[in-house]
Chain A
Amino acid sequence: MARKRTPEGPPPPPPVQKLRIRYARRGRLRFSSTRDFGRALERALRRSGVPMAFSAGFHPHPKISYAGAAPTGTASEAEYFEISVTERVDPDAVRAALDAALPDDLEIIEVVEAGPGSLAERLEASVWRLELHGVTEDELSYAVERFLAVEVAEVTRTFKTGPKTFDTRSAVLAMDVVDDAPATTAAGEEGPCAILQMVVRHTTPSVRPDDILTALHAVTEFQAPVPPRVTRLAQGPLTDAAAGVADPLAADKDAVGS
């Protein structure tokens, strides 16, 4: 019996172009969630004058979709989202304008016009880097070796629907102790620091870096004295060769270039 109401006036202008965007989340803004980023992004889009496409209805929303967001508290050099615009734009100009309109510590790295295919489906795995302060390379190497030697390493995490137990080992495609000093050593942090780098396949439920640390502890008793600093270095399609990920926007760049 409820009559469906529609807003007066013409429908919103249709989208004419879709853009795929890579951004980095660094420093203190690693503590922002995807929803926090969304709020900042919507305002930055308005400030910079990007001709956003909006959904129809009484509560129009800008057309933005997010893919494969890193958990709150982790930094990332490779986060992705897509937007639709109502006028054709120059992706490089959008990159510069949007980057200027966002707070420091959120950087727009790359904007490309979307080619065919789904971006989300290309995000098959991530490269993670963990800075473990107070841990020596030897300790870490020993733990990694033992972890890689097991077939299954289960952890239990609490989800909205309740606790769930899942394997972490099968998602880990590569795990290495990397021999380079931390990019930033904050004042007051002295002593050893070991770097763990790993390639983790995207699964459901997703295996997060902290799940892997939990599993490392369960398998090997290894425990970092302070929470590690975690950064996603890349995410994208798995390469056939040695475990690694490729640029998920490569296909889009090829499509535009052709």
Chain B
Amino acid sequence: MHTRTPGTSLFTELEPLLEQVSKPIQYVGGELNSTVKDWDCGADSEHGQTVRWALMYPDAYEVGVPNQGSMILYEVISERPDALAERTYAVWPDMEDLMRAAGVPQFTVDNHRAVGDFDLLGVSFSTELGYTNLLTALDLAGIPLHARDRVDGDTIVIAGGHAAFNPETIADFVDAAIIGDGEEAVLMVTDLVARWKSEGMPGGRRELLLRLARTGGVYVPAFYDVSYLPDGRIRRIAPTEPGVPWRVSKHTVMDLDAWPYPKQPLVPLAESVHERMSVEIFRGCTRGCRFCQAGMITRPVRERSITGIGEMVEKGLAATGFEEVGLLSLSSADHSEIADITKGLADRYEGTQTGLSLPSTRVDAFNIDLANELTRNGRRSGLTFAPEGGSERIRKVINKMVTEDDLIQTVTAAYGAGWRNVKLYFMCGLPTETDEDVLQIADLAKRVIETGRQVSGRKDIRCTVSIGGFVPKPHTPFQWVGQLSADDTDARLEKLRDAIRSDRRFGSSIGFRYHDGKPGIVEGLLSRGDRRVGAVIEEVWRDGGRFDGWSEHFSYDRWVAAADRVFAESEWPISVDWYTTRERDESEVLAWDVVDSGLDKEWLWQDWLDALDETEVDDCRWTPCFDCGVCPQMNTEIEIGPTGKTLLPLTVLGAGRKAMAEHSHA
């Protein structure tokens, strides 16, 4: 094996492979607004060191490239003179085979550098289904799969993203996990690594990891010892080194206006899943939907101001030329100035063929006015609402406070305003759910169609019911519940399908899309797993498991067979069911208790009891604090408007148009 100079481009070796793979464009980089920096760009900086990050989104390029979190980190690191960041994605199996045959390692797309040459590999896990792709990347990069086998000089592997709120499942494979908002945390780590390198890397990687762990905001699994009870439950997770905290705190960025990233969003040539320029209009959500991990772990609500949003849209469009702007958040219509924002943006961009979208909106008649504002140009596709639960009762259990009348009013307004297709999203397998709760979805859909036919006076209106299995997640009031088995989920969905199809008057007007229960069980195993599940991930990966988020690649049988083999050899009576369909009790030590999301475990348990009582909890933005624990624990508070400001008219596009106008023709 010949040695390469670290940081040199592998493109010459890659080029012949690109001729043979599907969609080679995803591997070549060169996107507008991508950054290529010198390998030793930090040589003249304060510490004289360069901190090199490879950032991975562990899915295909087309999914990873529009990811906001990755784009933000890529920019904030790249802006530092003493650091560089390059991106890497999961390669498809055709490319993986060719790379193995040709001895080409996992590479970054920006400069085609070997991932193993970088100091740090940051991996952003939006979902647990990317874990097998991490193993492929590590293996191709020549980085030992297990953190315990890595030595000085090996790349440090750091996980982040929502799935990292339970880092124990991947404890075997990652050196560290950063919990919560990444932009400040990644710079803190960069500082720490720069200092350690400038000191001559004292104590090697172990010392670096200790320094990271002692910040209190980085979880290093190697410095924690897990002991178990004979029945398989965790007895205790305890730090093994002095100065390493019992619980690791999440990071919270308080002033979004101070972090207007991404400023220069990437513009891929390849087709990607989100072809738009996105601006995060606020972070966090206190609606309190009990199934929603994102809402629980990103508290408190922090709004970007209307003027900050206007500026980001203006600069982002100028930097990218995208034809659509997405106003992102967990529930975009909840921004305190959303009406002024949408009206202001629609006015500014009138006549420029620029679309606006609010990807996550609640069922609310007010939102129809918003939607009208957004589609002034005439672009009008479907409207999606998420009642989540089929019956009034189950919606009280999950704290999704939408009545059937609310929903009917909303769809009345939608069909009345000219929409012809309304999508409704539900979940199956919610705690306490019975067949009856799910079958009410059919009645609801029929009422929606009836109403739609009345108000629109047309027969050709449609409604699509989309339904997926519920997966209980860590740091939610449902973290203790038994997940509904795949068979039970499938049986319930089948009954619902029959109920929808039974009535000929509606049959063809109601579309039905569902996902079977099997992927949800694997997601459940990985979400609420502990470090003993790592061996299952590895077994699946060795057996060829890749791209588990893609139905054409996912194999439930492979996962179950691998888990059976691994757990049969363990000293505890654990199994896939034990991790998924088993209900936990209040006293059980949970693997993710080492992560402090700010939420009091007692409050979560109380909220779970409230769920069983069908008691609803209000939103603390408009009603008094309900003591979830986040603000006092994390020393944070709600940051919301209104600011009372508005968006002034602006000459937005065609700044270069004047220079282009014809001069010579009279």
Give min CB distance, A23 to chain B, whole Å. Answer: 14
- 26 example contacts (A-B, Cβ-Cβ < 8 A) are as follows A9-B378, A28-B28, A29-B269, A31-B18, A31-B24, A31-B28, A37-B269, A43-B323, A45-B321, A46-B653, A48-B321, A48-B660, A49-B660, A50-B660, A51-B660, A54-B353, A58-B379, A59-B379, A60-B353, A62-B353, A87-B657, A88-B662, A89-B662, A90-B660, A90-B664, A227-B16
Chain B neighbourhood of A37, CB < 8 A: 269
Give min CB distance, B30 to chain A, whole Å. Answer: 5
Range of interface residues on B (Cβ < 8 Å):
35 or more
Complex Cα spacing A48 to B318, Å: 9
Would you call B19 and A36 a contact (CB within 8 A)?
no
Give min CB distance, B314 to chain A, whole Å. Answer: 13
Surface stretch bound by B, among A117-125, A137-145, A173-181, A184-192 = A184-192
Chain A neighbourhood of B321, CB < 8 A: 42-48, 101
Instruction: Select A72's contact among B24, B317, B377, beta carbons within 8 Å.
Output: B24
Q: 12 new A-B pairs (CB below 8 Å) besides A46-B317, A49-B660, A89-B660? A: A28-B30, A31-B28, A36-B269, A42-B323, A47-B321, A48-B656, A51-B657, A58-B378, A60-B377, A62-B353, A90-B661, A227-B16
Q: Does B424 contact A (CB under 8 A)?
A: no
Chain A neighbourhood of B653, CB < 8 A: 46, 49
Would you call A7 and B378 a contact (CB within 8 A)?
yes
Would you call A104 and B30 a contact (CB within 8 A)?
yes
Chain B neighbourhood of A59, CB < 8 A: 379
Chain B neighbourhood of A31, CB < 8 A: 18, 24-25, 27-28
Q: Does B32 contact A (CB under 8 A)?
A: yes
Chain A neighbourhood of B24, CB < 8 A: 31, 72-73
Max count, chain B CB within 10 A of own CB: residue among A49, A101, A105: A49
Complex Cα spacing A58 to B420, Å: 14
Give min CB distance, A132 to chain B, whole Å. Answer: 13
Query: A225-252 interface mask toward B, CB cutoff 8 Å, 1 = contact, 0 = none?
Result: 0110000000000000000000000000
CB closest chain-B residue, reference A38: B269
B622-665 with Cβ < 8 A to chain A:
653-657, 659-665
Complex Cα spacing A59 to B375, Å: 11
Q: Does A93 contact B (CB under 8 A)?
A: yes
Q: Does A35 contact B (CB under 8 A)?
A: yes
Would you call A49 and B657 a contact (CB within 8 A)?
yes
Q: Does A94 contact B (CB under 8 A)?
A: yes
* A58-B378, A73-B18, A103-B269 given; A93·B32 CB < 8 A: no
Complex Cα spacing A39 to B66, Å: 15
Complex Cα spacing A83 to B318, Å: 21
Would you call B13 and A88 a contact (CB within 8 A)?
no
How many chain A residues touch the partner (CB < 8 A)?
A: 50
Query: B314-348 interface mask toward A, CB cutoff 8 Å, 1 = contact, 0 = none?
Result: 00011111110000000000000000000000000
Query: A217-230 interface mask toward B, CB cutoff 8 Å, 1 = contact, 0 = none?
Result: 00000000011000
Chain B neighbourhood of A51, CB < 8 A: 654, 657, 660
Chain A neighbourhood of B12, CB < 8 A: 186-189
CB closest chain-B residue, reference A61: B353
Q: Does B31 contact A (CB under 8 A)?
A: yes
Would you call B267 and A29 a contact (CB within 8 A)?
no
A86-108 with Cβ < 8 A to chain B:
87-90, 93-94, 97, 101-105
Would you call A93 and B460 a contact (CB within 8 A)?
no
Q: Does B270 contact A (CB under 8 A)?
A: yes
Would you call A28 and B19 a contact (CB within 8 A)?
no
Chain B neighbourhood of A102, CB < 8 A: 32
A residues sitting closer than 8 Å to B (CB atoms) are 2, 7-9, 27-29, 31-33, 35-37, 39-40, 42-51, 54, 58-60, 62, 72-73, 87-90, 93-94, 97, 101-105, 186-189, 226-227
Chain A neighbourhood of B16, CB < 8 A: 226-227
Q: Which 7 A-B pairs have the closest CB atoms?
A: A7-B378, A43-B321, A47-B321, A46-B321, A49-B654, A49-B656, A31-B24
Q: Identify whether the interface residues of A are mostly helix, strand, loop, or mixed.
A: loop
* A32-B269, A49-B653 given; A94·B18 CB < 8 A: no
Chain A neighbourhood of B29, CB < 8 A: 28
Would you call A40 and B25 a contact (CB within 8 A)?
no
Chain A neighbourhood of B150, CB < 8 A: none
Complex Cα spacing A50 to B32, Å: 18
CB closest chain-B residue, reference A72: B24
Would you call B271 and A39 a contact (CB within 8 A)?
yes
Chain B neighbourhood of A226, CB < 8 A: 16
Complex Cα spacing A227 to B267, Å: 29
Complex Cα spacing A227 to B634, Å: 58
CB closest chain-A residue, reference B350: A9
Would you call B32 and A58 a contact (CB within 8 A)?
no
Give min CB distance, B66 to chain A, whole Å. Answer: 13
CB closest chain-A residue, reference B17: A227
Q: Does B506 contact A (CB under 8 A)?
A: no
Chain A neighbourhood of B270, CB < 8 A: 32, 36
Complex Cα spacing A51 to B661, Å: 9
Complex Cα spacing A33 to B275, Å: 17
Would you call B269 and A40 a contact (CB within 8 A)?
yes
Complex Cα spacing A93 to B16, Å: 38
Max count, chain B CB within 10 A of own CB: residue among A37, A87, A103: A103
Chain A neighbourhood of B655, CB < 8 A: 49
Q: Does B11 contact A (CB under 8 A)?
A: yes
Give min CB distance, A232 to chain B, whole Å. Answer: 16
Complex Cα spacing A103 to B30, Å: 7
Instruction: Select B31's contact among A47, A58, A103, A186, beta carbons within 8 Å.
Output: A103
Complex Cα spacing A94 to B660, Å: 6
Q: Does B235 contact A (CB under 8 A)?
A: no
CB closest chain-B residue, reference A186: B12
Give min CB distance, A90 to chain B, whole Å. Answer: 5
CB closest chain-A residue, reference B320: A43
Would you call A105 and B30 a contact (CB within 8 A)?
yes
* A31-B24, A47-B320 given; A89·B661 CB < 8 A: yes
Complex Cα spacing A220 to B663, Å: 58
Instruction: Select A58's contact among B269, B380, B659, beta carbons within 8 Å.
Output: B380
Give min CB distance, B473 to chain A, whole Å. Answer: 35
Give min CB distance, A98 to chain B, whole Å. Answer: 9
Would you call B660 and A97 a contact (CB within 8 A)?
yes
Would you call B379 and A103 a contact (CB within 8 A)?
no
Instruction: Select B267's contact among A40, A88, A97, beta carbons within 8 Å.
Output: A40
Max count, chain B CB within 10 A of own CB: residue among A28, A32, A105: A28
Complex Cα spacing A226 to B319, Å: 39
CB closest chain-A residue, reference B109: A28
Give min CB distance, A59 to chain B, whole Å. Answer: 7
Would you call A2 and B460 a contact (CB within 8 A)?
yes
CB closest chain-B residue, reference A90: B662
* A39-B269, A40-B267, A105-B30 given; A97·B656 CB < 8 A: yes
Chain A neighbourhood of B267, CB < 8 A: 40, 43, 103
Chain B neighbourhood of A29, CB < 8 A: 28, 30, 269
Give min CB distance, B240 to chain A, whole Å. Answer: 47
Chain B neighbourhood of A54, CB < 8 A: 353
Chain A neighbourhood of B663, CB < 8 A: 90
